[in-house]
Amino acid sequence: MTKKYDVEIPVLIVGGGGAGLTSSILLSRLGIESLLVTRYPSTTHVPRAHMLNQRSMEIFADMGVDSQIRAKGAPQEYMSRIGFLSGLAGGGPKNGHGRRIGSIEAWGGGYTDPEYVAASPQAAANLSLRRSEPVLKKHAERYDHAAIRFNHELVGLEQDAAGVTSTVLDRGTGETYTVRSRYLLGADGGRTVGELAGVQLSGPEKIMTLTSMYLSMDLSPYLDEAEDAVFHWIFNPDHPRHLGWGAVLVPEGPEWGRKSKEWVLHVTGEGMDASQPEKMVQWAREAVGLPDIDIEVLTIAEWDMGGYLADDFRAGRVFMLGDAAHKVPPAGGLGLNAAVQDAYNLCWKLAAVLDGRAGDALLDTYSAERRPVNQHNLDTAMQAAPAQFGAAEVMGLSPDKSAEENWAALRLFWEDGPGAVERRHAFTQWLGNLTLVFHQHNTDFGYTYDSPAIVGDSTPAPAPLDAIRLYQPSTRPGHPLPHAWVDRAGERTALRELIHGGHFALIAGEDGHDWVEAATQIAEQRKLPLRAARVGLGDVDFVDTRLAWTKQREISTTGAVLVRPDGHVAFRSAASVDDPAAVLSAAFRRILHTDGE
């Protein structure tokens, strides 16, 4: 009998970027077979998406790739701030060139900001996709559950009540084949799947067009004051026509700080043309103020800063992830992070449904939970992007002034004179606005879910101190589990590690034996991966020696918190109840959408 389809697989993943590769690893780890197809023969050559926030690093820790990412990424001491520099050329800092005009701490200041240290066991990391994608690819290929096919492109898709039939082109041979899957993950950056599945994208207009030059050059002699910056924002008075938005210079590694061999320079302005490398090299030399520097062009790309959001992240058996579902201006670095976090929300649900432990309606909560988060991301980034304008003006610089006049304005930052303190303070005030970009801790880390896969406890949501900038830990259902280092047998562990490997976690107080017993029994009956523990002081499984959990848990010694495999609290009880087994069973029925049982 001839086979109806060339490949039959539970999940087809389309796209081998951050969203697709993360999904592949997460599904494999949960024992779900998948096939990933992606259009190009290799991982990306484009060095975008370098900031990996704390939440993504927590997810990478769960996936077992955090240490490889960190080993290749910038050391924390080179990640503390964004530096504003005058042009690099001339006699160096002594005459103003290459001098730091100001700086602002970013993404937790290289894990020195106490708020960021208290919030997570993971520091943010700095490694662009060009170097992180190969790490993810290698890891994804290690699992027997996953087939990874580069140079294979989805060209057709039809779905019915039972599954999705896709047509894939093998670009190496030119032949097509069919894939039948129960579900399809559209992680293709918004290029094909959305249109084929009828997903509508809507969103704001573009903000600006930028040209990003990926260059190899030796800047080590010119960057005396700039070792510790995630990136440098350069305003070079020698070339007034570059002073509008300035130029953003991002080290790319493989060594870091001033020793970086590769750099990305983001510029904007009249007359740029990505198709003319010679012209753009000239532009780059002027922007940094090094007219004679040797530059090797690796790539140049022009792109529009803007955003969109899919109206629904689910279309039947097709799910949209990452840029396929949402795009944001890269003000704060939310794009790749959100892609990774989409996958973390969806994959445990898919695995539970495919294994028969949850009802299909659980999958509706993917869009119900991730769409509002990504709407907030988009709103944050659209608000943050314009906050980056106006630096030149507040420094007293203008394209309409001569180079001498602009240098005179800038000199007030390092020479005392009339108006110097006022100028410096005006710039400091302007830097404060940039917390919208570089301190988005509630947006990028504290996001919460509200859906039928969360059992609310009727407590009011905490009033946000600042919905973008300030993360407020809470165990209220829907919130991410607050971080606490706890100890067992002399070893320190992060409480969130209880969920690693796709586990639910039941965390009870010191006197919560009944909760632990009930949760363990239910998990056995339902064949659910679950870890249950009592945490606190005294006769407990994990000792809260720093009282970090006690301070944040918002339950009594007889209460319990149930955490989903994606780290979000699904249910909590402030104290003991008469029948914890009945209460927890009802909670699991609700969370897993098995109400018909």
Ligand X SMILES: Cc1cc2nc3c(=O)[nH]c(=O)nc-3n(C[C@H](O)[C@H](O)[C@H](O)COP(=O)(O)OP(=O)(O)OC[C@H]3O[C@@H](n4cnc5c(N)ncnc54)[C@H](O)[C@@H]3O)c2cc1C
CB of 277 to ligand X, least distance (A): 18
CB of 294 to ligand X, least distance (A): 24
Query: Positive or negative CA dihedral for 163, 176, 314, 321?
Result: positive
CB of 321 to ligand X, least distance (A): 6
- Could you say whether residue 339 binds ligand X (CB under 6 A)? yes
Cβ neighbours of 277 (radius 10 Å): 15
Per rule CB under 6 A, count of chain residues that contact ligand X: 35
Question: Residues 131-160 vs ligand X: string with x where CB under 6 A?
Answer: ----------------------xx------
- Could you say whether residue 337 binds ligand X (CB under 6 A)? yes
CB of 343 to ligand X, least distance (A): 9
Q: CA 100 to CA 85: how far, in whole Å?
A: 4
CB of 169 to ligand X, least distance (A): 8
Using the minimum distance from each CB to ligand X, give the nearer residue, 333 or 580.
333
- Judged by CB under 6 A, the stretch of 68-76, 221-229, 321-329, 486-494 that binds ligand X is 321-329
CB 201 within 8 Å of CB 190: yes
Using the minimum distance from each CB to ligand X, give the nearer residue, 325 or 592.
325
CB of 340 to ligand X, least distance (A): 8
CB of 275 to ligand X, least distance (A): 18
Using the minimum distance from each CB to ligand X, give the nearer residue, 195 or 539.
195
Q: Which residues contact 307 (CB under 8 A, 6 or more apart)?
A: 203, 204, 326, 327, 328, 329, 378, 381, 382
Using the minimum distance from each CB to ligand X, give the nearer residue, 324 or 410.
324
What is the footprint of ligand X within residues 391-410 (CB under 6 A)? none
Using the minimum distance from each CB to ligand X, give the nearer residue, 20 or 240.
20
Q: CA 32 to CA 351: how far, in whole Å?
A: 6
What is the footprint of ligand X within residues 275-314 (CB under 6 A)? 303
What is the footprint of ligand X within residues 5-34 (CB under 6 A)? 14-20
Bridge partners, 12 (sequence order): 35, 184
Query: Positive or negative CA dihedral for 371, 375, 376, 377?
Result: positive
* Nearest alpha carbon to residue 211 among 322, 124, 304, 118: 304
The total number of residues written for the chain in this structure: 597
CB of 334 to ligand X, least distance (A): 6
CB of 291 to ligand X, least distance (A): 26
CA angle 160, 450, 356 (to 5 degrees): 40
Task: Provide the residue type at 78 as one letter.
Answer: Y
Q: CA 24 to CA 28: how far, in whole Å?
A: 6
Q: CA 229 to CA 219: how far, in whole Å?
A: 14
Concatenating the DSSP letter of every residue in 479-515 gives SBPPP-EEEETTEEEEGGGGGTTT-EEEEE-TT-HHH
Tell me the CA end-to-end span of the chain in Å, nearest whole number.
39
Using the minimum distance from each CB to ligand X, give the nearer residue, 154 or 385.
154
Question: Residues 70-109 vs ligand X: string with x where CB under 6 A?
Answer: ----------------------------------------
Q: CA 547 to CA 427: how far, in whole Å?
A: 40
Using the minimum distance from each CB to ligand X, give the nearer residue, 136 or 351.
136
At residue 23, the 3 state secondary structure works out as helix
Bridge partners, 296 (sequence order): 216
Would residue 244 be called left, alpha or beta, if left means φ above 0 and alpha means ψ between -120 and 50 degrees?
alpha
CB of 459 to ligand X, least distance (A): 32
- Could you say whether residue 336 binds ligand X (CB under 6 A)? yes
CB of 308 to ligand X, least distance (A): 12
What is the footprint of ligand X within residues 191-220 (CB under 6 A)? 191-192, 212
Using the minimum distance from each CB to ligand X, give the nearer residue, 342 or 369.
342
Q: CA 67 to CA 27: how far, in whole Å?
A: 20
Using the minimum distance from each CB to ligand X, give the nearer residue, 369 or 554.
369
Question: Residues 170-189 vs ligand X: string with x where CB under 6 A?
Answer: -----------------xxx
- Could you say whether residue 39 binds ligand X (CB under 6 A)? yes
Q: Which of 48, 55, 469, 476 binds ligand X (CB under 6 A)?
A: 48
- Judged by CB under 6 A, the stretch of 48-56, 78-86, 544-552, 570-578 that binds ligand X is 48-56
Query: Positive or negative CA dihedral for 344, 346, 351, 357?
Result: positive
Using the minimum distance from each CB to ligand X, give the nearer residue, 127 or 505.
127
The enclosing H or E element of 186 equals strand 175-186
- Judged by CB under 6 A, the stretch of 97-105, 327-335, 415-423, 588-596 that binds ligand X is 327-335
- Judged by CB under 6 A, the stretch of 113-121, 292-300, 328-336, 346-354 that binds ligand X is 328-336
Cis bond upstream, residue 418 (ω within 30): no
Q: CA 233 to CA 274: how far, in whole Å?
A: 21
Question: Which letter does DSSP use for residue 554 in this model?
Answer: -
Task: Provide the residue type at 585 as one letter.
Answer: S
Using the minimum distance from each CB to ligand X, give the nearer residue, 107 or 504.
107
Using the minimum distance from each CB to ligand X, give the nearer residue, 14 or 530.
14
Q: CA 486 to CA 543: how far, in whole Å?
A: 6
- Could you say whether residue 333 binds ligand X (CB under 6 A)? yes
Question: Which letter does DSSP use for residue 113 in this model?
Answer: S
Q: CA 554 to CA 521: how far, in whole Å?
A: 25
Q: Which of 12, 27, 51, 569 binds ligand X (CB under 6 A)?
A: 51
Q: Which residues of this protein are in contact with ligand X, per CB under 6 A? A: 14-20, 37-40, 48-51, 129, 153-154, 187-189, 191-192, 212, 303, 322-324, 330, 333-337, 339
